[in-house]
């Protein structure tokens, strides 16, 4: 069949290298997560104990159900912590390599900045900047393509949510200057 000769090829020039060194092992992260969850269980359990975990005339007090859940959460995290400590094998698995971490940061940092920008500039301006900036800086896509894509996408979002469906989005100084 001739139609299978056509191939779709997409390259990924900034892909993480396979031999990149490990930053942190899965074991370390598992221990950290267990500790965080344990602390959370203690904090929530204490708060519920303060709210009341006993019985009164109307039945169980509000803290009753969540208190025992905190106990379960704490117990399971403790078990996880101990199991990870005593596990002999699998301790050296890589959680993330340096190259992978770089790529993840490449999305995560702009996303966090975008959330911050949304708070001050409104969601539409922030998303225009995020899309255009990300395509240009990370994707190395031509500037005009990046700007055009960002503009079209933001405009579609604006028309869909603000105009057609009346869902109010956070807005900033630019929108208010334009009278929206």
Binding residues for other proteins restricted to 108-127, rule: CB under 8 A: 108, 110-112, 114-115, 118-119, 123, 127
Is residue 147 involved in binding other proteins (CB under 8 A)? no
- Pick the closest to residue 52 from 60, 43, 44 (CA basis): 60
Residue 140 vs 180, nearer CB to other proteins: 140
Binding-site member from 53, 121, 135, 175 for other proteins (CB under 8 A):
135
Residue 55 vs 85, nearer CB to other proteins: 55
Phi, psi of 62 (to 5 degrees): -55, -30
Binding-site member from 23, 29, 42, 147 for other proteins (CB under 8 A):
29
C-alpha 162/C-alpha 57 separation (Å) is: 50
What count of residues does the chain have?
180
Q: Of residues 37-96, which lie at the interface with other proteins (CB under 8 A)?
A: 37, 40, 43-44, 47-48, 51, 55, 58-66, 69-70, 72-73, 76-77, 79-80, 83, 95-96
C-alpha 180/C-alpha 82 separation (Å) is: 57
Residue for token digits 């960002």? 150
C-alpha 31/C-alpha 38 separation (Å) is: 10
Least distance between other proteins and beta carbon 5 (Å)? 8
């Amino acid at each position: 069949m001739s139609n299978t000769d056509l191939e779709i090829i997409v390259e990924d020039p900034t892909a993480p290298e396979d031999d990149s060194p490990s930053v942190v092992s899965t074991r370390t992260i598992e221990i950290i997560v267990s500790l965080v969850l344990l602390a959370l269980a203690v904090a929530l359990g204490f708060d519920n104990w303060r709210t009341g975990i006993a019985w009164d005339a109307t039945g169980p007090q509000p803290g009753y159900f969540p208190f025992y859940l905190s106990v379960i959460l704490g117990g399971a995290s403790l078990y996880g912590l101990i199991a990870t400590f005593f596990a002999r094998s699998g301790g050296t698995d890589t959680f993330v390599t340096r190259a992978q971490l770089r790529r993840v940061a490449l999305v995560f940092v702009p996303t966090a900045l975008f959330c911050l920008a949304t708070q001050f500039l409104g969601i539409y301006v922030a998303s225009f900047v995020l899309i255009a900036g990300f395509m240009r800086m990370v994707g190395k896509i031509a500037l005009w393509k990046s700007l055009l894509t960002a503009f079209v996408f933001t405009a579609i979002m604006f028309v869909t949510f603000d105009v057609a469906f009346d869902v109010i989005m956070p807005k900033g100084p630019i929108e208010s200057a334009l009278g929206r």
